[in-house]
Amino acid sequence: MAIQYALVARGSVVLAEFGGAGTNAGGIARQILEKIPGTNDSHVSYSQDRHIFHVKRTDGITVLCMADDSAGRRIPFAFLEDIHGRFVKTYGRACHTALAYAMNEEFSRVLNQQMDYYSNDPNADRMNRIKGEMSQVRNVMIDNIDKVLERGDRLELLVDRTANMQGNTIRFRKQSRRFRNTVWWRNVKLTFALILLLLVIIYVVLAFVCHGVTLPTCFR
């Protein structure tokens, strides 16, 4: 497997581990825990023969794995990110007070399962690439926002412009509705006038044919 050993620790106190059978991975891992400088969050890797020990420490919880050097860094650190999230979600604040190996019986099975997934399932690397692409998109968006701010454009002005555009749209709709109503009434009046004119023309023709305005010859 690409990832052959993993542990979760608080400082130098190992809370859960799995793998490393027939190797000195556990001993080397404990030496690394002792030597990690400071208390700040960190992402570091240590080389040992053909193996690399990758370490992620976040909020006082350290997750470590030993991987073959051919695995690179992307998959091991994705594994560490996954394990850290699962561990903190499962145990919460108990992580910071638990005794050594307090979570080993239960969480070692999670380590085993995720080690196998990240070592053998091709979807693991595909998901990591997708996450990387999403992170790049997010960074581009943040960079674009920074550029807007650097030009001196205030976000309040952008909001005001949007509000003005919305107001103009509402006014345009109202004006369009009034215009349609005006045109409709004008068409009604024109139609009525045409009908009246047609009736007058018919009457004039009948008066001429019937020899008088009272139409005398037409009603004998």
Instruction: Quickly list DSSP for 69-99.
Output: GGGTTHHHHHHHHHHHHHHHHHHGGGGGTPP
129 and 35 within one domain: no
Q: What percent of the chain has pLDDT over 90?
A: 42
Report residue 186's pLDDT band, with 50, 70 and 90 as the boundaries: confident
Residue 83 lies in a domain: yes
Closest by CA to 65, choosing from 110, 124, 108, 3, is 3
The chain-wide mean pLDDT, for the chain, equals 82
Report residue 102's pLDDT band, with 50, 70 and 90 as the boundaries: very high
Task: Judge contact between 125 and 74, C-beta under 8 A.
Answer: yes
Examine the pLDDT at 211 and tell me if it is beyond 60.
yes
Q: What is the pLDDT of residue 132?
A: 46
141 and 52 within one domain: no
45 and 142 within one domain: no
- Partner residues linked to 51 by β-bridges: 48, 68
71 and 33 within one domain: yes
Give the integer Cα–Cα distance in Å for 199 and 213.
Answer: 14
Of 153, 175, 209, the one marking the end of a domain is 153
For residue 130, give its domain range. 122-153
100 and 67 within one domain: yes
Q: What is the pLDDT of residue 20?
A: 78
Q: What is the pLDDT of residue 79?
A: 96
| Tens digits of residue pLDDT in 34-54 | 988 777 888 999 998 788 999
105 and 7 within one domain: yes
Residue 93 lies in a domain: yes
Number of compact structural domains in the chain = 2
- Secondary structure of residue 212 in the 3-state scheme: coil
